[in-house]
Structure formats: C-alpha cells, structure tokens
Amino acid sequence: MIVPIEIRQSPTRRYEITIDPLPELRFDRKVAIVTNPTVAPLHLERVLSRISAPQVEVIEVPDGEEYKSMETVLGILDRLFETRFDRSALLIALGGGVIGDMTGFAASLYQRGIGFVQMPTTLLSQVDASVGGKTGVNNKWGKNLIGAFYQPEAVYIDPAFLETLPEREYAAGIAEVIKMAVMFDREFFDFLERSDLKDPEVAKEMIARSVTLKAEVVNQDEKEAGIRAVLNYGHTFGHVIENETGYSRYLHGEAVAIGMVMANALAVELGLLSPEEAGRIERLLERWGLPTRYEIEDAEAFYQHFFLDKKSTRGSIRFILPGGEIGTHTIRGDLDPALVKRVLERFGAAG
C-alpha cells in the first residue's frame, strides 16, 4: 500500500510512504545507513540484502534518547566527510524515532542538505515520527529544540520490523495511534476498540490509517502554523511529565497516554467531552497497559512548566482537546489558569 504525501505549501516536496515488505531498492549514488547496536543485529542484514548502490556505509550510533544530541549528529557528519560523501549521497535512517530524527537532521546539514530515506522500525516511528519531516535533537534546554523541517525522499514502513519490538514499545506506539483517532476519526477509534491490533494484517491497516491521517495533516500544514498542532494532543501535559521524571520513568508514548487523560479531564470540566467518552479513551489506553495516572505534587509548578514548551507562544498555553466527542478536536488558548490548575490538583495526592 502506498500513501502519497504532497506538502501543499511547497509543491516540489512530494514523496511516497510505502507500507509493505521492504522492496528491492536500487540507488545510483552512495548510501549510508544510520542505525544503532540494538536494531543492527536484528534487521541490518535483511536491509543490506535489499539495497544495491555503488557504495554502502553503515554508521552506528549509540542507542537511547540521551544520545539524541548535536554531538551524535556531528559524529554522523564526520563519518560522511571521512568516507568522502558528496552532495549526491543518501542517508537511510534504520531505527526508531531517535534514529529518524537525527538522521534527517544530519541530512539537512551535510553540505547544506542531502537526500534521506526513512525506514522506521518502531510502531511509534512508523505511525508518527517518520512522517512529516520534523527532524532534530535534544539539548540541555529541552527536547527537540534544535532541528529543521526537512522532508525525506521516501518512507519505507515494513511492519515485519515490529516482530522484534518489545511489548512496552509497541504499546507506546499504540498511544500515538489512539491520539490520532481521538482527534480526527471516530470510526478509526471504534476500529481500535474492536480489533486485535497484534494481528499482522490488522496492524498493517492500523498503520496505514494512522499514516494517512498524519499525511493529510502535514500536507495542509507542514510547519505547524495551524492544524498540525492538533497532533500535540496529550503532549502538552506529557512533556511536563517527561521532564519532571527526568525522561527515564516513562517512554514518550506512555507520558502522552497520561497527558491525554489529563487533557480529557480538562475537556470534561469545560463541558466539551462527556465523562463516558473520556472513560472510553481511558479504557482503551489501559487495555494496552499504558499508564493513565500520574501524581502531580505541585499543580502550580506543573502549570509553570507548560511555559517551557516551545509550543507555548507569547505567554499563552494552547491546549489541544477533544472537540465535542471522540473524532473531533479544538484548540483553546484562552483558558483561565485557575480552572486549569483546579483540574491539575485532582491529579495530586489529595485529589
């Protein structure tokens, strides 16, 4: 199956997202595959067997969010210089979102920009991170604060990569899928509730539907001036939780799961979402063993943390909430801080 992506604001940026077993790929230029020591032993051999190119280099970088840094990207660039790659070279990101974000960013920088291809190997990166051209790294000020919008030439999503993915990582990816359904597609949410998402055929359909929704959003709004912000549902809260817990207790998707429950509590308080609909979302998250509770120690401090997010603009926080029911959304930048803090307090020990 192929999902075409066409960024409408810049008609030259067209590429395809292929959701199928990895095809034979022929390149008439030098290729460097960027991967890590977890993914390489599991999948590199098969990927290499599918690629023909005049020269294929493998660049391994350490595994982990803590290595998603400028230093690692500079290391990738160094290897490209050492191997005398020129501007026609191509990078292939083989790994999860961390590898994809760094490889894309390195591609945007090398000699002012070379091509790159995404081969996402986690569910989260297949349904979300590999689509849409956000690339970048973390620094001491926060996550993804250095980066570029830089679109790949193609995305190859092979669901077979997921066979080796730990259960917990799979569930974290499901959280992003649920996010997409709650924001945009009620029928898709019903599908997620009633289907066996571990079944490979069902999983493929789930990935395709998720990617199609994300592609549609990115096509309209590559640089997040409007609708793309809706993809941050659960993230405004989730980022604070990740930050408060030192990025170590929760996987990103897990923090987003709690964040969605918090956003829903706010939406219920505002009369936007019924408690029944909020309950449905929570039950689906729990079915995947995703966390839905987090004890906020200090609601005021939690609230102030929102302002560290790069998405809070000029002192106002934009909350992404379910609109009136599952499958709809609303963006609210006008909420009374006292009301928000009251909802946060309910997540405290006394709440």
Residues with catalytic annotation?
112, 134, 176, 214, 224, 228, 232, 235, 239, 252
| Dist CA 148 CA 38 (whole Å) | 26
- Mask: binding to ligand NAD, 110-129, rule CB under 6 A, as x and -? -----------xx-xx--xx
Residues 6+ apart with CB under 8 A from 256: 175, 176, 179, 234, 235, 238
H-helix or E-strand containing 307? none
**Paired sense of beta strands 90-95 and 115-120, if any:** parallel
**Minimal distance in Å, beta carbon 252 to ligand NAD?**
5
Mapping DSSP to helix (H, G, I), strand (E, B) and coil, where does residue 1 land? Answer: coil
Applying CB under 6 A, the span of 8-16, 36-44, 78-86, 319-327 interacting with ligand NAD comes to: 36-44
**Minimal distance in Å, beta carbon 100 to ligand NAD?**
7
Among the listed residues 7, 36, 259, 294, the single contact to ligand NAD using CB under 6 A: 36
The tokens of 181 are what?
């359904």
The tokens of 99 are what?
């590898």
Sign of dihedral through CA atoms 310, 313, 314, 318?
A: negative
Among the listed residues 88, 164, 245, 313, the single contact to ligand NAD using CB under 6 A: 164
- Mask: binding to ligand NAD, 38-77, rule CB under 6 A, as x and -? xx--x--------------------x-x--x---------
Q: Which is nearer to ligand NAD, 218 or 299 (CB)?
A: 218
Residues 6+ apart with CB under 8 A from 271: none
| Dist CA 176 CA 183 (whole Å) | 11
Q: Does 95 bind ligand NAD (CB under 6 A)?
A: yes
Q: Which is nearer to ligand NAD, 15 or 280 (CB)?
A: 15
Contact residues for ligand NAD, defined by CB under 6 A: 36, 38-39, 42, 63, 65, 68, 95-99, 101, 121-122, 124-125, 128-129, 132, 134, 143-144, 161, 164-165, 169, 172, 252
